[in-house]
Amino acid sequence: MAKILITLGMILVIIGVVWLIFPSLFSWIGNLPGDIKHSSGNTKIYFPVMTMIVISVVASILLNLFNR
């Protein structure tokens, strides 16, 4: 379990560094068709529906691959 957490942490650090150096690589996150954005006056409401579906599918595939 400890090795999995360390590996996961290292992957997150690598993603964070890549995001810091190349922010345009991840500009699609939160801007997919199906994400609901509504602004009215001083109120802004944002529901990242499609982004969460994509993240969920990718996470499910990765977890299924690692658990085999």
Q: What is the pLDDT along the chain (68 residues), one digit of tens a residue?
A: 788 889 889 999 998 999 899 988 878 787 889 899 999 999 999 999 999 999 999 989 988 988 87
What local confidence, expressed as pLDDT, does residue 19 receive? 87
Domain ranges for the chain, please list them. 1-27, 31-68
Which position has the token pair 């690589």? 25
Whether 38 and 45 have beta carbons less than 8 Å apart is answered as yes
**Angle at alpha carbon of residue 22, lines to 20 and 24, rounded to 5°:** 115
Q: How far apart are CA 7 and CA 3, in angstroms?
A: 6
Residues 14, 24: Cα–Cα separation, whole Å: 16
Model confidence pTM above 0.85: no
Q: What is the predicted pLDDT for the residue at 68?
A: 74
